[in-house]
């Protein structure tokens, strides 16, 4: 038998045998599947209908309970509202005098099926009753054709009221607690496909014809490898090393194809390796580009840059250091060993010392195979390049020096090559752009949230921080004290000494506020001469202590200024009025607490200034404190 004949026979046996066996199996199981599908539809429908009716019962019970618990004069209004919202068809309230009120009072249905005590008695409604304060409230839902149609649509069966004794395509749902109706579910028969009895034989016949055609085509195509070999040899001679001639059998054609494949295998594997390396580099560059464009978080950007550089060069380990306060601070490492394998947050290197310090000091890359400095990561080979800011941007260290990118121990080679140096320089340039952009963004964000005159946070940041601190205090059950401070008679300072002196007073006042606060406290300039201080985890007593301390610090030392005309004193005595409010005593939200502190500030102003007042409680007024009654000056 020829090769073409063998292939044709094998293909027909492999394809037609399972098809014939499968057709017999399908014919036997189709009838069983059809019968089981009707039972499954009824099971699903029974669950769906029971859930739907149970939900209505719970809805009615909730409506009855809602009416029962309200005061008598509000029951009718609440009942009307619940009926209007569609939570019940009728809601009826009966008192000891047998008075009925609610929607549709004249059509009270006494034969409705009770959700908690169902019976088989025919019913046209379902109801739920609640008792409270000597009265009973009954919420009723009318059972009509529209209701049954909705159940039918939801369950995929026909739902009717009544009883049945017919098994199979119908099923009776007896009443039970939470489902007081006697329902009958009728499965809708599946539509019969025309010529169903002829469909399976037709499929078998078509499959057989296709199998014969496919077998002949496969056999004919398999006998053409000699022509393919000649064509492939011509392609290889023209420089196309991707050409291959696969031969499935070890015959003469197989030996000839093996000779051809051995000729091109080594060159082809080299091309594939280069292609895979290029594609991998493209993927990492795409990830790097997406990361750089989508975030300003260095903790996310630097690991991506380092992993990409390590993958592109085959390095075992890597390290990124950035210039911080005149020293090299380790920001991210991967694959490091020894002392550098742990936490890098405290690692600092001096520029000019060691290999990494020399790169940071000179801006020139270094590579070698003799190992790094003893204070640096241990290695057999290394490559370190500077991370530079974009052209034209200078740093404290020098022209554009932001840090160092270092790689260690190139896998598969004795050391790093010139190609690796060019590649790593590219990634270091990306890192420099990212670090510079992040720092510019952080500086712009800081400037947008601070007051340029006093250096304190501004009103915009106050709203953000106050909301966050109130949320945190509420979550952990802590207190938060808010102080609102206002310089007394500040308008007179501006009018008498000029706005330049007024700015000096505001700057000195802000400085004294910062000195008198804890590290966790936050101060803001709300606008003009008004300031706000947040004291986390501080109660009213602690807030009054801080207010007393700030008032004393402001009052006891006049502010030196440059008078704008002769005869004016070069020192201005200032005082401050303070309003105090505590979360959650004086407000449940950030705005309420801030408003309460403002009201307390107004009270301090009316009390003569140079004092503080605590906001009033909801049920009364907290005792007030004052800085020094003898110093309280009337008027502005």
CA atoms within 13 A on the CB side of 117: 3
Q: Give the highest mean pLDDT range of 253-262, 280-289, 621-630.
A: 253-262
Q: At what angle do helices 298-313 and 418-449 cross, to 10 degrees?
A: 170
Quick one: pLDDT at residue 388? 87
pLDDT at 634 over 80: no
Q: Could you tell me the pLDDT band of residue 571, with boundaries at 50, 70 and 90?
A: confident
For 31-35, which contacts have Cβ atoms below 8 Å and span 24 or more sequence positions?
34/190
pLDDT at 196 over 60: no
Segment 616-625 shows an average pLDDT of 49
**What tokens does 275 get?**
């292609």
pLDDT at 106 over 90: no
Bigger pLDDT: 155 vs 608? 608
Rounded distance, CA 254 to CA 65, Å? 86
pLDDT at 622 over 60: no
Quick one: pLDDT at residue 626? 34
List of residues 6+ apart from 297 with CB closer than 8 A: 438
pLDDT at 498 over 50: yes
Lowest mean pLDDT among 91-100, 480-489, 517-526: 91-100
pLDDT at 606 over 50: yes
Sheet holding 315-324, edge to edge: 348-349, 327-334, 315-324, 401-410, 382-388, 366-368
Rounded distance, CA 402 to CA 382, Å? 20
Question: Do 331 and 348 form a contact (C-beta atoms < 8 A)?
Answer: no
Segment 38-64 shows an average pLDDT of 82
pLDDT at 101 over 50: no
Write out pLDDT tens, residues 372-399.
Answer: 577 888 888 899 999 888 775 544 444 5
First to last CA, the chain: 119
Percent of the chain whose predicted confidence (pLDDT) is above 70? 77
pLDDT at 57 over 90: no
**What tokens does 588 get?**
């449940």
Quick one: pLDDT at residue 212? 75
Quick one: pLDDT at residue 295? 59
Query: Any alpha helices (H) in 556-635, and if so which ranges?
Result: 590-606
Q: What is the 3-state secondary structure (H, E, C) of 120-186?
A: CCCCCEEEEEEEECCEEEEEEEECCHHHHHHHHHHHCEEEEECCCCCCCCEEEECCECCECCCEEEE
Quick one: pLDDT at residue 584? 93
Q: What is the 3-state secondary structure (H, E, C) of 310-366?
A: HHHHCEEEEEEEEEECCEEEEEEEECCCHHHHCCCCCCEECCCCHHHHHHHHHCCCE
CATH numbers and ranges of domains, the chain = 34-187 (no CATH), 295-443 (3.30.450.40), 459-631 (3.30.70.270)
**What tokens does 35 get?**
């019968």
Rounded distance, CA 146 to CA 141, Å? 12
The residues with which 500 forms a beta bridge, in sequence order, are none
**What tokens does 345 get?**
């947050």
**What tokens does 609 get?**
């200034």
Task: Give just the sign of the alpha carbon dihedral 209, 214, 217, 223.
Answer: negative
Segment 138-165 shows an average pLDDT of 78
pLDDT at 107 over 50: no
The residues with which 170 forms a beta bridge, in sequence order, are 186
Average pLDDT, the chain: 78
Rounded distance, CA 622 to CA 278, Å? 74
Lowest mean pLDDT among 401-415, 594-608, 617-631: 617-631
CA 364, 311, 370: angle at the middle one, nearest 5?
50
Quick one: pLDDT at residue 180? 80
Quick one: pLDDT at residue 281? 62
Question: Do 60 and 139 form a contact (C-beta atoms < 8 A)?
Answer: yes
Q: Could you tell me the pLDDT band of residue 134, with boundaries at 50, 70 and 90?
A: confident
Rounded distance, CA 21 to CA 19, Å? 6
List of residues 6+ apart from 44 with CB closer than 8 A: 155, 156
Which helix (H) or strand (E) segment is 571 a member of?
strand 571-572
CA atoms within 13 A on the CB side of 306: 25
Quick one: pLDDT at residue 619? 41
Bigger pLDDT: 29 vs 368? 368
Bigger pLDDT: 529 vs 105? 529
Q: Could you tell me the pLDDT band of residue 635, with boundaries at 50, 70 and 90?
A: very low
DSSP designation for 450: B
pLDDT at 52 over 90: no
Question: pTM for the whole thing?
Answer: 0.39
For 117-123, which contacts have Cβ atoms below 8 Å and span 24 or more sequence positions?
117/177, 117/180, 118/175, 118/176, 118/177, 118/179, 118/180, 118/181, 119/175, 119/180, 120/163, 120/174, 120/175, 120/182, 122/161, 122/162, 122/182, 123/180, 123/181
Write out pLDDT tens, residues 10-36.
Answer: 666 676 677 777 777 776 776 677 777
């Amino acid at each position: 038998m020829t090769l073409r004949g063998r292939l044709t026979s094998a293909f027909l046996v492999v394809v037609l045998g399972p098809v014939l066996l499968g057709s017999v199996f399908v014919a036997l199981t189709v009838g069983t599947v059809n019968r089981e599908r009707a039972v499954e539809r009824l099971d699903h429908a029974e669950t769906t209908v029971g859930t739907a009716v149970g939900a209505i019962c719970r809805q009615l019970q909730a409506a009855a309970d809602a009416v029962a618990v309200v005061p008598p004069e509000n029951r009718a209004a609440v009942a009307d509202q619940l009926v209007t919202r569609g939570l019940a068809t009728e809601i009826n309230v009966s008192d000891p005098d047998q008075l009925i009120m609610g929607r549709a009072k004249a059509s009270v249905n006494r034969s409705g099926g009770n959700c908690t005590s169902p019976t088989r008695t025919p019913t046209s409604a379902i109801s739920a009753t609640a008792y409270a304060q000597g009265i009973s409230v009954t919420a009723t839902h009318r059972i009509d054709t529209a209701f049954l149609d909705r159940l039918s649509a939801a369950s995929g069966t026909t739902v009717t009221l009544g009883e049945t004794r017919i098994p199979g395509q119908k099923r009776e749902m007896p009443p039970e607690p939470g489902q007081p109706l006697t329902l009958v579910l009728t499965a809708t028969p599946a539509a019969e496909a025309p010529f169903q009895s002829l469909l399976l034989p037709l499929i078998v016949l078509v499959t057989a014809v296709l199998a014969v055609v496919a077998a002949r085509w496969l056999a004919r195509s398999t006998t053409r490898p000699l022509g393919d070999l000649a064509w492939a040899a011509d392609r290889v001679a023209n420089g196309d090393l991707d050409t291959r001639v696969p031969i499935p059998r070890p015959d003469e054609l197989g030996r000839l194809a093996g000779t051809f494949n051995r000729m091109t295998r080594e060159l082809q594997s080299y091309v594939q390796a280069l292609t895979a390396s290029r594609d991998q580099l493209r993927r990492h560059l795409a990830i790097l580009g997406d990361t750089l464009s989508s975030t300003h978080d260095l903790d996310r950007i630097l690991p991506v840059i380092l992993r990409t550089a390590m993958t592109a060069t085959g390095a075992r380990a890597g390290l990124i250091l950035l210039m911080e306060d005149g020293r090299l601070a380790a920001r991210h490492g991967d694959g490091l060993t020894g002392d550098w394998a742990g936490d890098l947050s405290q690692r600092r290197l001096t520029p000019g010392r060691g290999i990494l310090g020399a790169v940071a000091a000179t801006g020139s890359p270094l590579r070698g195979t003799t190992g790094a400095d003893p204070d640096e990561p241990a290695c057999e080979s290394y490559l370190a390049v500077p991370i530079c800011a974009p052209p034209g941007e200078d740093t404290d260290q020098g022209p554009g020096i932001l840090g160092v990118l270092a790689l260690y121990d190139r896998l598969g080679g004795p050391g790093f090559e010139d190609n690796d140096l060019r590649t790593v320089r590219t990634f270091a340039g990306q890192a420099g752009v990212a670090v510079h952009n992040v720092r510019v963004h952080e500086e712009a964000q800081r400037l947008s949230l601070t007051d340029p005159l006093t250096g304190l946070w501004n009103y915009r940041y106050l709203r953000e921080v106050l909301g966050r601190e109130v949320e945190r205090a509420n979550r952990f059950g802590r207190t938060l004290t808010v102080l609102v401070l206002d310089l007394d008679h500040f308008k007179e300072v501006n009018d008498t000494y000029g706005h330049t002196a007024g700015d000096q007073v505001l700057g000195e006042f802000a400085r004294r506020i910062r000195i008198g606060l804890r590290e966790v406290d936050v101060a803001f300039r709300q606008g003009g001469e008004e300031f706000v201080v947040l004291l986390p985890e501080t109660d009213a007593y602690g807030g009054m202590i801080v207010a007393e301390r700030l008032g004393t610090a402001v009052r006891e030392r006049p502010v030196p200024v440059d008078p704008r005309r002769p005869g004016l004193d070069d020192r201005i005595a200032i005082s401050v009025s303070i309003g105090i409010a505590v979360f959650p005593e004086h407000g449940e939200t950030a705005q309420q607490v801030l408003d309460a502190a403002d009201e307390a500030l107004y009270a301090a102003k009316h009390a003569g200034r140079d004092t503080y007042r605590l906001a009033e409680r909801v049920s009364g007024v907290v005792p007030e404190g004052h800085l020094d009654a003898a110093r309280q000056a009337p008027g502005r």
